[in-house]
């Protein structure tokens, strides 16, 4: 009888893990938190910001040398964020986050531990 309880517990544990795995965060939380720290004061929440343009625009902004700086001309806080070591070290990761969550990506996030609602 004791073995049956262990087997049942193991089956329940495995099925629980399998059930909740697809519900795990499906976005890069490090990029999310970086955008929150550097961009949210001016642009709103990371997902709101990402949805403002499509993936081609995000690629254009990030891959055209000086484009992001030009867009933020006259905005000292934005320029400071773009020139920070945090932004520079995570630039590729941030682009991937923005593309994955862009306007026509089909990605719609609900509430989770990091994000609930939009403040902009």
For 32-61, what is each residue's pLDDT tens digit?
A: 999 999 999 899 888 889 999 999 999 999
Q: Does a structural domain hold residue 84?
A: yes
| Residue 31 within a domain | yes
The dihedral sign for the CA sequence 89, 93, 97, 99 = positive
Mean pLDDT of the chain: 83
Task: Look at residue 6 and tell me if it is in a domain.
Answer: no
pTM of the model: 0.70
Give every CB contact of residue 23 below 8 A, 6+ residues apart in sequence: none
More confident residue, 120 or 15: 15
**pLDDT tens per residue across span 110-119:** 665 556 554 4
Please report whether residue 117 resides in a domain: no
Is 11 part of any domain? no
Torsion-angle region of 106 (φ positive above 0: left; ψ -120 to 50: alpha; else: beta): left
**Distance separating alpha carbons of residues 87 and 56, to the nearest angstrom:** 20
pLDDT digits (tens, 9 = 90+) for 73-111: 999 999 999 999 999 999 999 999 999 998 888 777 666
CA separation for the pair 61, 41 (Å, rounded): 20
Domain count, the chain: 1
Domain that holds residue 32: 27-100
């Amino acid at each position: 009888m004791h073995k049956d309880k262990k087997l049942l517990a193991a089956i329940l544990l495995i099925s629980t893990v399998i059930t909740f795995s697809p519900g795990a965060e499906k976005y890069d939380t490090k990029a999310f938190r970086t955008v929150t720290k550097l961009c949210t004061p001016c642009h709103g929440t990371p997902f709101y910001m990402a949805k403002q343009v499509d993936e081609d625009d995000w690629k254009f902004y990030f891959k055209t040398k000086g484009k992001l700086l030009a867009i933020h001309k006259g905005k000292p806080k934005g320029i400071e964020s773009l020139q920070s070591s945090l932004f520079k070290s995570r630039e590729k990761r941030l682009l991937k986050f923005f593309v994955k969550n862009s306007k026509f990506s089909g990605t719609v996030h609900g509430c989770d531990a990091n994000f609930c609602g939009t403040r902009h």
